[in-house]
Amino acid sequence: MAISAIKNTTNRVQQAFYNIMPRYVAGEKADKLYKTAGREISSAENRLILGATALMSQPFIDFHNRRIDEDTRRVAVCRTIAKIIAGTVTGYAVRKGSIKAIRACSQLPKDGVAKWRSFFTPKDVTKIDTDEFKQYQNSLGTYISLGVMLFTNFLIDAPLTKFLTNKLNARAIDNKKNGGAK
């Protein structure tokens, strides 16, 4: 009972949001753009977009936080930048690598194709839509990358974030000592 009430409320909020959107955001052209972007942009490129957006906004927010002192603010900005860079670089690399590995291992079985190259190809393949098959490869690569990232977050992201934070913070301290000359 409560779940259906939440679902109905969610649907009403979504419909209200959709109704107030201008036609260029919610029209046929926009739908075509969204579908094309959904087909053509993999999770790796999506991670780059998210990283660039975060790099343009989050350090600015930390820098203008007046509730903390200047030194804490400087360290927060350095840490935020380091986290975004480390997360974006490793996230992109792991996702892209996983998708490429899945593409290499999900080729159509033909004469001369090694058995391991069709390991992730669906068994009942008779007719393949290339767009659907590409989406299958992207999705499977993304799922594999999520498992890999359980390890890379601790093995690569955390140490890289610490290293970059220390480098950025040392540079910020040098700039402050030299009067911002660097």
Please work out, in degrees rounded to the nearest 5, the angle formed at the alpha carbon of residue 151 by the alpha carbons of 150 and 156.
120
pLDDT in tens, the chain (182 residues): 566 777 778 778 878 777 776 655 666 777 787 777 777 888 889 899 999 999 999 999 999 888 989 889 999 999 999 999 999 999 999 999 999 999 888 887 776 777 787 777 777 766 666 778 888 888 899 999 999 999 999 999 999 999 999 999 999 888 878 776 54
Annotated domain spans of the chain: 43-177
C-beta of residue 44 within 8 angstroms of C-beta of residue 95: yes
Residues 58/29, Cβ–Cβ less than 8 Å: no
Least Cα distance to 168 among 105, 60, 81 occurs for 81
Q: How far apart are CA 9 and CA 18, in angstroms?
A: 14
